[in-house]
């Protein structure tokens, strides 16, 4: 597996959209729509988009933004983590999140996210703390 910081949408994103839609997730659609409209290209200082590849096949993606729900400086939001079903359980999601956190430490002091109950254990294993908030389920102080 190889991780790449992306400046364009990666080859294979359409397959990720299709698979995520089949599972009932719409957030990869939003990632692509926001990218194509220019609304979110993970291009502000400290932001990034990381893709994971197995050979040439895209098997995961995740972004890091300034948190749009908390405009204070130093607060980031981890967004749109998705790993293909065939690649799950191999540590790809954790590797992507760790790469984002390593990058975020130079720019942010807090990372927030919203996780589904199924995804929450991954984030908690990586040190995120559950919170009760309208816009986030977990935080991590850097």
The CATH number of the domain holding residue 34 is 3.40.630.30
Q: Taking residues 88-96, what's their average pLDDT? A: 96
Task: Report the DSSP beta bridge partners of residue 50.
Answer: 5, 62
pLDDT at res. 25: 94
Torsion angles phi and psi, residue 36, rounded to 5: -65, -35
pLDDT at res. 71: 86
At 42-51, the pLDDT tens digits run: 999 999 999 9
Identify the domain containing residue 65 by its residue range.
2-141
Domain count, the chain: 1
Q: Taking residues 89-101, what's their average pLDDT? A: 97
- The count of C-alpha atoms lying within 13 angstroms of the C-alpha of 25, restricted to the half-sphere facing its C-beta, is 19
Give yes or no for residue 55 having a pLDDT over 90. Answer: yes
HEC string for 25-79? CCHHHHHHHHHHHCCCCCCCCCCEEEEEEECCEEEEEEEEEECCCCCCCCEEEEE
pLDDT at res. 115: 96
Q: Taking residues 35-41, what's their average pLDDT? A: 97
Contact 53, 2 (CB under 8 A): yes
């Amino acid at each position: 597996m190889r991780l790449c910081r992306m400046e364009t949408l990666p080859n294979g994103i359409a397959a990720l959209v299709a698979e995520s839609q089949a599972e009932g997730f719409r957030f990869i659609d939003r990632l692509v729509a926001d990218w194509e409209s220019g609304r979110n290209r993970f291009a502000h200082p400290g932001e990034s988009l990381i893709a994971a590849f197995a050979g040439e096949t895209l098997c995961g993606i995740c972004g890091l933004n300034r948190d749009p729900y908390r405009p204070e400086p130093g607060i980031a939001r981890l967004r749109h983590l998705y790993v293909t079903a065939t690649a799950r359980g191999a540590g790809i999601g954790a590797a992507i999140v760790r790469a984002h956190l390593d990058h975020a430490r130079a720019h942010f002091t807090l990372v927030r996210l919203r996780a589904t109950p199924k995804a929450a254990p991954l984030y908690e294993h990586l040190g995120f703390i559950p919170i009760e908030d309208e816009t986030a389920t977990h935080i991590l102080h850097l």
